[in-house]
Amino acid sequence: MPQPPLKELHFGHLDASEEAIDEPDLLMGGFYDYREAAFGITTGRAWLILGPKGAGKSAVLEHIRLSWAGRWDHFFSAWNLASFPVNDVTALQIDQAAGPARNQAAWEFLLLLRVIDSLNSDEGLRAPASFGRLVKELNKAGLLQGDWARKVAQWSKQRMTFDAKVIGGEAERDVRKVTALEVSEALKAEMRQVRTESRHLIALDGLDSFFFEAEDEWASLSGLTQAIKDLNRNLRQWALPVNIVAAMRSDIFDVLPGAETNKLKPHSVHLDWSAGGIGGQNHLWALATKKAQVTRPEVTNLVKQYFNAPIAIGPHTEMAEFLLDNTRLLPRDMIALLGFAQRNYGGSKQMPEDNAKAAVQQYAEEYFVGEIFDNLAGVLPLGSARKVASFRDALRTLPTRRFDFAYLETELQGELERNEVRALLRQMFETGGVGVRNPSGYRDYTDFVFRKVSGAGFTIRYEFILHDALVRAWNRPWS
């Protein structure tokens, strides 16, 4: 069978939620379960999916959702927190002093309601009559449906109390009230009595959109992770096949406050795509190959079939290495780059060097710059668009790709404060736009967030270096 033209292959969307709508087959038959993330979650071993933005965390959850759709004994409940008032959770008035314990209790209350709602949809559930009465009263109180964001905003401003009927208590003339803590204990008591053979998954996503600059956001996320840990442990103790899972940025998780955060690591999957290096053995090529195979099974190895022509572009002699070196080793970047490759070469043989160079140049200019700077929106307060534009211009006109913090601070003097420059530069590092040159003995190492050679993190003490794709997009000198 002849090899299909590159232009006829389908690699999917940059956004997993869009792919799930437009090309669900690519998220089913073309799903590459890197590090067995989906397997770990569906078997109950993994509760956290960690990785940078664009690493494929949402794709894992969407794949599970599609796989479980239509199955009577599998229940998937998605909770997108992108527009949820996460920081308000720390202010919920639940009759506890402010602090980590209250933050965790607040999230437990919200998550328990999600679990109850999922269990209630399970026709195979074996439960006492009291469970049905509880669900009925929770629905009457509007606790299992409706605008949760509005409710949380309201609960953060006034003491949370509920009619005692919600938990089966007698309430003469509706004057007796119970607290959120009492409701949580009642929900736990009911769950201890129910049994099911069905699998339930409560999946939390959308946290990538938060910058976690405010103290309340950090405290809230820490409370959420502790609530997930404790509730999942309780659910195992109660022999309920229910799990609560969250997709979270690895850089945020690594610095979360809390003494027990480290205990979650055995239950996490880290989608770090740098393990296979930047050549043809990287798992990103396997991911793209598997997607292409859905419609064209003749494709068995993208590198060998399309991207294996000898090249001489700077230090690169292998095309697969040249292409990946202009990404951040993320599925999103990979899919975007392959789209530009198809635009520049639609043939069925090896892609020529000139076409590869043109594809990378267009990818850098039309995709990469925008992708990086979209992530700066929200780092500074509202009304700071001009400051961000000045920061971008200062980077775009650097004398070379290498610079230090003092240069950038001087260049932006009078427009941005020192802390603002630092915040924007840190975000550039966290999203892979710049790396840090770390001196280590007799040799310097360049650490990008997606490929930490020395294992160091962000610092303004050392020199910075622009990502290859930004150098190409802005035509900056390489040294």
Q: Are 187 and 162 in contact (CB under 8 A)?
A: no
Q: In what order do the strands lie in the sheet with 434-440?
A: 402-403, 463-466, 434-440, 443-447
If asked whether residues 214 and 177 sit together in one domain, one would say yes
- Tell me: the pLDDT tens digits for 134-149? 888 888 878 887 777 7
If asked whether residues 280 and 302 sit together in one domain, one would say yes
If asked whether residues 70 and 174 sit together in one domain, one would say yes
Span 69-83, mean pLDDT?
92
Asked, for residue 230, whether it belongs to a domain, the answer is yes
Asked, for residue 378, whether it belongs to a domain, the answer is no
Q: What is the pLDDT of residue 173?
A: 41
If asked whether residues 65 and 89 sit together in one domain, one would say yes
Predicted structure pTM score: 0.92
CA distance linking residue 10 with residue 292, whole number of Å: 5
- Tell me: the pLDDT tens digits for 195-232? 999 999 999 999 887 655 566 778 888 899 999 999 99
Q: At what angle do helices 283-295 and 331-344 cross, to 10 degrees?
A: 60
Asked, for residue 7, whether it belongs to a domain, the answer is no
If asked whether residues 117 and 265 sit together in one domain, one would say yes
Q: What is the pLDDT of residue 236?
A: 95
- Tell me: the pLDDT tens digits for 392-410? 999 999 999 999 999 999 9
If asked whether residues 319 and 216 sit together in one domain, one would say no
Give backbone dihedrals phi and psi of 361, rounded to 5 degrees, phi first. Answer: -65, -45
Last residue of a domain, one of 232, 256, 271: 271
Asked, for residue 452, whether it belongs to a domain, the answer is yes
Q: Which two tokens stand for residue 67?
A: 């796989």
The CATH number of the domain where 429 resides is what?
1.10.10
Asked, for residue 319, whether it belongs to a domain, the answer is yes
Asked, for residue 5, whether it belongs to a domain, the answer is no
If asked whether residues 112 and 158 sit together in one domain, one would say yes
If asked whether residues 48 and 139 sit together in one domain, one would say yes
If asked whether residues 283 and 144 sit together in one domain, one would say no
If asked whether residues 169 and 255 sit together in one domain, one would say yes
Asked, for residue 150, whether it belongs to a domain, the answer is yes
Span 161-182, mean pLDDT?
66
Fill in the DSSP letter of residue 459.
-
CA distance linking residue 411 with residue 398, whole number of Å: 10
Q: Are 30 and 290 in contact (CB under 8 A)?
A: yes
Nearest CA to 42 out of 179, 227, 199 is that of: 199
CA distance linking residue 84 with residue 110, whole number of Å: 12
Count structural domains, the chain.
Answer: 3
If asked whether residues 346 and 403 sit together in one domain, one would say no
Positive or negative CA dihedral for 152, 206, 392, 407? positive
Q: How many CB atoms sit inside 10 A of residue 411's CB? A: 18
The H-or-E segment that residue 438 falls in is: strand 434-440
Neighbouring C-alpha atoms within 13 Å toward the C-beta of 117: 19
DSSP E strands in 81-223: the ranges are: 161-163, 177-179, 199-205
Last residue of a domain, one of 252, 271, 290: 271
If asked whether residues 150 and 175 sit together in one domain, one would say yes
Asked, for residue 409, whether it belongs to a domain, the answer is yes
Last residue of a domain, one of 271, 291, 319: 271
- Tell me: the pLDDT tens digits for 346-379? 999 999 999 999 999 999 999 999 999 988 887 8
Domain that holds residue 460: 385-474
